[in-house]
Amino acid sequence: MLTKKQHELICFIADRLNESGVSPSFEEMKEALDLKSKSGVHRLISALEERGFLRRLPNRARALEVVKMPERAEVKRSAAAAPARTPPAPANDVIEIPLHGRIAAGMPIEALEGATMLPVPAALLGAGDHYALEVSGDSMVEKGILDGDYALIRRTETARDGDIVVALIDDNEATLKTFYREGTMIRLDPANRSYDPQRYDSRNVRVQGKLAGLLRRY
């Protein structure tokens, strides 16, 4: 069962694809659904993807494909039964994601929460819900993650060995490191020979997301 906003969005996207072959911009979707920010659109699209109604074509901004329509819309939208043709992908579409303060790439520091939004090129983000953190420190420089970069994080609570993750330690400190399991322990590796790995009891570490991309301003 879709929410009212999810239902409105899938119908709006399908209508636009049938009319022009081009999916609407995030700004157009935001206005059509009377949402306050584009991040709300991004969350709705991610939810529709997870439920199998939408597919976001990889490496192409604004390339959405309607996989199926909700049952209540089938009569009204009988033409939507055929798969939507792949639309062209205009460049420079931008998504606003929450910017939650600074995160240590050295020793853990408190993860600050804030209401600031960061505009990010949609092509840098894949499926899922995302947020951004400003990197503080130099312990990940050998992975190309520099002080002042914006780490784009996909929300998840699971990780595999070798993933670069945001790890929350003791529920109040966060750090950006490479994740490894060692029995009942978690090892968080820096990418700078000047720093030592950090080891914690697995009960004291929670994964808050995985690195999806970097944004750097010059």
Kindly list the catalytic residues: 139, 177
Pairing mode of beta strands 198-201, 205-215: unpaired
Burial degree of 212 (CB within 10 A; 0-12, 13-18, 19+): buried
Angle at 120 between CA 191 and CA 131, to 5 degrees: 60
Burial degree of 151 (CB within 10 A; 0-12, 13-18, 19+): buried
The answer to whether the CB of 159 falls within 8 A of the CB of 125 is no
Residue 54 half-sphere exposure toward CB, CA atoms < 13 A: 28
Quote the CA–CA distance of 40 and 208 in Å, as a whole number: 20
The answer to whether the CB of 71 falls within 8 A of the CB of 133 is no
State the CB neighbour count (10 A cutoff) for residue 8. 16
125: closest CA among 52, 42, 33? 42
